[in-house]
Amino acid sequence: MQAEANQPVYSEVPLQLFLFVDDRPKSQQEVQQVKSYLDKLQAEHRFELQVVNVGQKPYLAEHYKLVATPALVKVHPEPNQTLAGSNIIHELKTWWPRWLASVNNYSSLNELELQQEVENGHSTSSKSSIRSLALSTELIQLSDEIFRLKQEKEKLTEQLMFKDRVIGMLAHDLRNPLTAASIAIETLQSNYNVERGAFERLKPSLTANLFKQARTQVKTIDRMITDLLQVGRGNNSEFRIQPQRMELAKLFQEVFDELRDRITKKSLEVQKDIPKDLPAIYADPDRIRQVLINLLDNAIKYTPENGKLMISGLHRTTQKVQFSIGDSGPGIPEENRERIFENRFRLERDEDIDGYGIGLCLCQRIIRAHYGQIWVDESPIGGAWFHLILPVYPK
């Protein structure tokens, strides 16, 4: 419906003010003085005033970024202006003529725009009307509530995504210990003579080693499942570690022995340079085992038959040890060397290779939890060259 030419388009008062107060006894006298002065002004000029207790509506104080009360805020016409502190009345006397001038300017411009709309045959625009202070308060509260809900949604979404990633990571890493445990148990079973109650064709030392390997892998699986349950119940987005004194070279040799059959099957040449005096590190053995298995598994996977593997250790400083695993595979393009640690990132050439692209993300999380570093560059034999740095065990 079109408005008539002489019809007032809005009935709201163009000058709108918030007076923010608190419950402190020492500010009551000052607040009362400001109110009395505003009452005198209201007898001569039309404006809308709403008194706001910051304790009851803190979102409004936050919205207007108040740092002190009492405070008088000019809400309309824009821009907002705040008078605060112990000299509000003096400041108001200075600014009051300017506020009235801004109201007159706003009204003149508003009436001109509306008159042009009427002359052009357009309906009056709702955007020219002035919101009441009560409505402004409700809109600010709703806006803050929407913002809070969005934050909650983002937080919950992040937690769900993290749990999905952890489930994927654990499912990926369960393969290696399950395979190793199965091989050990199947070997023991196939060489056990029920009638004689003894293992045939197996030396006692090999039998003991197979039992040890099976137990070790079962413990690893149990730890992974425990982590999965903890993540499912909790909201913590970080992996928990239990650092202790451990020999990195010895742990790597155990991992190497677990994957030796795959290395032999592909006829890979292995070059190892691990100093005998490599110091002990301060880390979680189970977690570091996961990292070493992932890195060595990838090195074997991407190295062609008759290729090479490089393993080296380095005592960088009195506080850090560096360990590196390299291969003669296709390597990682320089532009992807940082992205390769992202969750589920996979190179296009790797889409047909078994795996979920989440192992390296897990490795990075574990190393960072130890306040270490992990990165990749080109190896001396042409492929990928993964390095990790871990803290030395304090003496």
244-395 placed in CATH 3.30.565.10 = yes
Query: CA 74, CA 117: separation in Å to the nearest integer?
Result: 29
**β-pair partners for 246:** 281
How far, in Å, are 159, 171, 358 from residue 167 at the CA level? 12, 6, 10
- Is pTM beyond 0.75 here? no
Query: CA 167, CA 367: separation in Å to the nearest integer?
Result: 19
Residue 347: pLDDT band with limits 50, 70, 90: very low
Residue 292: pLDDT band with limits 50, 70, 90: very high
Query: CA 8, CA 54: separation in Å to the nearest integer?
Result: 35
Q: What is the pLDDT of residues 118-163, one digit of tens each?
A: 556 554 444 434 456 666 667 677 777 787 788 888 888 877 776 7
**Mean pLDDT within 78-97:** 88
**Mean pLDDT within 180-195:** 86
Q: Which is it for strands 308-315 and 320-327: parallel, antiparallel or unpaired?
A: antiparallel
Tokens coding 12: 């709201």
CB neighbour burial string for 44-57, b if at least 16 within 10 angstroms, e if fewer: eeebbbbebebeeb
Instruction: Say if residue 213's pLDDT is above 60.
Output: yes
The CATH class of the 16-131 domain is: alpha beta
Query: CA 90, CA 393: separation in Å to the nearest integer?
Result: 67
User: Which sequence spans correspond to the domains of the chain?
Assistant: 16-131, 133-237, 244-395
CATH architecture of 133-237: Orthogonal Bundle (1.10)
**Mean pLDDT within 225-230:** 61
Which phi-psi region, left, alpha or beta, contains residue 238 (left: φ > 0; alpha: ψ -120 to 50)?
Answer: beta
Of residues 356 and 57, more confidently modeled = 57
* Predicted pLDDT of residue 80: 85
Q: What is the pLDDT of residues 234-249, one digit of tens each?
A: 444 456 789 999 999 9
**β-pair partners for 324:** 312, 387
Query: CA 86, CA 91: separation in Å to the nearest integer?
Result: 10
* Predicted pLDDT of residue 370: 92
Q: Are 320 and 387 contacting, i.e. CB atoms less than 8 angstroms apart?
A: no
Query: CA 289, CA 281: separation in Å to the nearest integer?
Result: 13
Q: What is the pLDDT of residues 94-113, one digit of tens each?
A: 999 999 888 888 766 655 55
